Structure 1
């Protein structure tokens, strides 16, 4: 039995006339009659009674019509779901993210993606950089967002955006009364460092230009924890601007100034050659966000120049 035969049967049953059904199906009458005969032979029962004005369903035909309609509806739905999955509009998308990347731009990107793809299930996996890379390589996640992800033979890495480095200070710190903090004022400051050194990678050129070696007093597993430690009076930390979204008590954030600008990068990474439609749809959202973010940055720079 073929799906085509079900469509033919339904058309004849609904029209009650083979000639009208053939016109509706855009085929000639003889092959349609033959297909109905073949269907009846395969089922071993008569589906139609021939009348002077056309055909009418037998009891078997009426029951078969009910199920034939259900089957064609399911087939149509299955085809639509497959098409939507192929277009990246339905399914499950596993995303890796960690630390301060969760505070600013990544939620904006995922929110935009969800608005455009409401039937896609987004699942977040919070894990340190090394675990995210392993999860990518094993296919447990499709994409990872983090600071300074390493490119490799198996992974492709793109910059999502850059954001300025701020100084997180306890509100009791004398520097908190300044509108901005110069890198020179941090020469003897004991800083809270995070384990993967992302923020110090972003400020390396700035500190080197001023001939300063950052002094690490405490260590934190990530920049969110570093900001929490600032709130507890453990010291001062350099953090990306998105950490301001935490709004921690006793913490103030000030711009870091110096002869060289300091920006920290947010990257996304995925497996090379991965053509998963959901991944491609999210990457398109990332690209749109990047263009929008860069346009905002350019306008801000032009406004500042004026």
Structure 2
């Protein structure tokens, strides 16, 4: 006889009940087949597991040792089964999410990550910060699983991109700028900033860079991009962008959600008029990714988007 898991369950029931008939009732089977199965198990093991008594059965020393291991085996099987079911439901595994440095300031991004963490606490979660174009490369290279990006993808080959919305941009000014002396609720037109020095966040091909350039062109001017020595003043991180603004080296258009970042020497003003640059927030993942964890995150992020829009 090849030992099966059901034989362990039979044995445990008899051991715990101390009586084959009561164990059979507990298992929903007849007493003679259960008694036969226990005898076959003893024959398979080559040991006696029970002493048969007039009023029931009593475990031998070998039976007591076997009981401990039988319970451990079934408990381990239960853990394996539950782990497998959690993985199948997208509740366990690993997930690496990419974000741009402006992403965490948008209310949707931290809320989506927090909602996923609450729903799937057993998933090992990692977050990496890069520029949008770098996130796309890492996503296609399977180094990350999903990414919040600030750009559209005219050619999203191999990827699926979910639009989570767009937000207006505001202008970040040095604290000693003339416009910074106006009331906080004062807005300015983009065209009125034509003579200003612009600090651009990220290289061409990144969302905020391209949105700023396009909006300036639509407003009728080419932005003057500041230089540090011979290097065009392109900042790789939003914190360094705002630090340059605070130092009085220029102004910068940033997503409105960045107003949550308070930096000494930086003042934010809304942009008014027909030309107001806007920046996207998209969630990208690999097309056809079989990971249930990734799909679970995408679903939660899209539900969170609806909650944010309602709030």
Q: Same fold (TM over 0.5)?
A: yes
Q: Is the 8 A contact 1:97 1:126 kept in 2?
A: yes
Q: Is the 8 A contact 2:187 2:270 kept in 1?
A: yes
Provide the secondary structure at the position in 2 that maps to 1:148.
Answer: coil
Report whether the alignment pairs 1:109 with 2:124.
Answer: no
Match of 1:153 in 2: 157
Report whether the alignment pairs 1:167 with 2:171.
Answer: yes
Match of 2:147 in 1: 144
Post-superposition CA distance 1:164-220 (Å, at most 9, x none): 101000011111133111112112222111214422433566444432332322321
The more displaced of 98-107 and 283-292 is 98-107
Report whether the alignment pairs 1:237 with 2:252.
Answer: yes
> Is the helix fraction higher in 1 or 2?
1
Equivalent pairs counted in the alignment come to 296
Pairing of 1:75-94 with structure 2 (within 5 A):
75-94=77-96
Report whether the alignment pairs 1:285 with 2:288.
Answer: no
The more displaced of 51-60 and 29-38 is 29-38
The more displaced of 106-115 and 232-241 is 106-115
For structure 2, list consecutive stretches of 5 or more residues without a partner in the other structure: 227-232
Q: Is the 8 A contact 2:99 2:129 kept in 1?
A: yes
Counterpart CA distance in 1 for 2:216 and 2:100 is 26
Match of 2:229 in 1: none
Report whether the alignment pairs 1:183 with 2:190.
Answer: yes
Counterpart CA distance in 1 for 2:28 and 2:276 is 70
Provide the secondary structure at the position in 2 that maps to 1:99.
Answer: coil
Post-superposition CA distance 1:228-273 (Å, at most 9, x none): 2101111000001222222111001111112144321111111111
Post-superposition CA distance 1:109-144 (Å, at most 9, x none): 212222232232211122333432233223222111
Post-superposition CA distance 1:32-56 (Å, at most 9, x none): 2232122111111011121212222
Counterpart CA distance in 2 for 1:261 and 1:293 is 22
Q: Is the 8 A contact 1:98 1:146 kept in 2?
A: yes
Specify whether residues 203 and 294 from structure 1 end up closer, same or farther in structure 2 by C-alpha distance, changes over 3 A only: farther
Counterpart CA distance in 2 for 1:279 and 1:291 is 19
Counterpart CA distance in 2 for 1:69 and 1:223 is 57
| TM-score where L is the length of structure 2 | 0.88
Match of 1:272 in 2: 287
User: Which of 131, 135, 140 pairs up with 2:134?
Assistant: 131
Q: Is the 8 A contact 2:132 2:151 kept in 1?
A: no
The more displaced of 169-178 and 209-218 is 209-218
Cα RMSD between the aligned structures?
A: 2.0
Counterpart CA distance in 2 for 1:51 and 1:14 is 15
Provide the secondary structure at the position in 1 that maps to 2:173.
Answer: strand
Match of 1:262 in 2: 277
Match of 2:309 in 1: 294
Counterpart CA distance in 2 for 1:38 and 1:133 is 61
